[in-house]
Amino acid sequence: MECVATVNQQKQKFYSLTPDHVIQAVEDTGFLLTGEYLQLNSYENRVFDLYMEPEFVSEDQKALKQRVIAKFYRPGRWTEKAILEEHEFLEDLKKEGVPVIAPLLLKNNTTISQHNDIYLSLFPKGWGRLPQELDMEDLKSIGRVLAHIHNVGERKRAKHRPQLLVEQYGDPALDILEHWVSPEVKYRYMQAAEKILDVLVDLLDPSDFIRIHGDCHKGNILEFEGELKKHFFLMDFDDFCMGPVAQDFWMLFSDEKEQERELHAILEGYKDLRHFPEHQMQLFQPLRGLRMIHYSGWIARRYEDPLFPATFPQFQDYIYWAQETEALEKIAWSL
């Protein structure tokens, strides 16, 4: 399944997705919709919550409770093989009893379709709520979920996903940020960023890398009530990659004051199912710095998307770069 349009042509189609395009694309995969839909909050992709016609729901679709989530992948980011590796990881996790939202099989007998040169996948709607506050028992439970994910993740390698290395996540971001960082703080920003990346070059060992979630923050966790206790599952494996397990820990910390206590709780649950490599604790801070650099590079690369200037208007302001510089320096000089 090859895209015949250029990436720029695909992007223009992606930016101008209309309700008619969305509904037609989903119905072409074998689902009959009412026309009601809600666009969900997603900057990288375009994601929609859609309602199915109840009288035409097939036996296979009844478990979906008449709702389906359509994910239109941003052109130029992932190849078809890379998307299918995301889906394969989710299926591997689902088969092992890990609570995740795996993609649906479409009428073309695969989990990916193409409409107007844009890749599309459908998912069941995840029923749960974002946790407002995580206590130590919650973090212990999340630690067990992470261990289960990592146990499955280490069984195969992802050949078409990125590796969490400086040359893939850090250097390309700095190259583009050369043209974005405010000149008043540019030297300081680059100096701090380069120090963080130099540290990571020495610390990151690809032999430690397994399939990981890659973007494990509290906004990607849903909780639901079981018969006896709360349960948690991770959403949005769009950033899944080959990397160190430490990457799936540090984004769960509230702040520096709470980090030690929260880490202890997560590890208490994690070590019930899996050994944690203690040497990776030294990665928490530099990985935080790498994410900041990569995140700013991501915004810069996406600024041609009409959604981004409206969402991140401060990105071109001095104050944004001054704050980013101070945060990077704090990390850099702590290493």
What is the spatial distance between Cα 237 and Cα 223, in angstroms, rounded to a whole number?
A: 17
End-to-end CA distance of the chain: 46
- pLDDT score for 54: 76
The DSSP bridge pattern shows strands 210-212 and 46-52 to be: unpaired
Q: What confidence tens digit (pLDDT) does each residue in 208-234 have?
A: 999 999 999 999 998 887 655 678 889
> Is the pLDDT score of 1 beyond 50?
no
Q: Which residue in this structure is represented by tokens 């299918």?
A: 84
What is the spatial distance between Cα 110 and Cα 44, in angstroms, rounded to a whole number?
A: 23
Question: Which CATH number applies to 136-332: 3.30.470.20, 2.40.50.140, 1.10.510.10, 3.40.50.720?
Answer: 1.10.510.10
What is the spatial distance between Cα 155 and Cα 254, in angstroms, rounded to a whole number?
A: 31
> Is the pLDDT score of 56 beyond 70?
no
The mean pLDDT of 184-203, rounded to a whole number, is: 97
Say if 7-124 and 136-332 have the same CATH topology: no
Element (H, E) at 246: none
Contact 45, 72 (CB under 8 A): yes
> Is the pLDDT score of 2 beyond 60?
no
Per-residue pLDDT band for 65 (boundaries 50, 70, 90) equals: confident
- pLDDT score for 3: 47
Helices 80-95 and 136-153: angle between axes, nearest 10 degrees? 120
CATH class of residue range 7-124? alpha beta
Q: What is the DSSP string of 169-225?
A: IIHHHHHHHTTTS-TTTHHHHHHHHHHHHHHHHHH--GGG-EEE-S---GGGEEEEE
Q: What confidence tens digit (pLDDT) does each residue in 268-312 have?
A: 999 999 999 999 999 999 999 999 999 999 999 999 999 999 999
The mean of the pLDDT values for the chain is: 91
Radius of gyration of the chain (CA): 21
What residue segments make up the domains of the chain, in order of their start? 7-124, 136-332
Q: What confidence tens digit (pLDDT) does each residue in 78-136 have?
A: 999 999 999 999 999 999 999 899 999 999 999 999 998 999 999 998 777 777 788 89
> Is the pLDDT score of 207 beyond 60?
yes
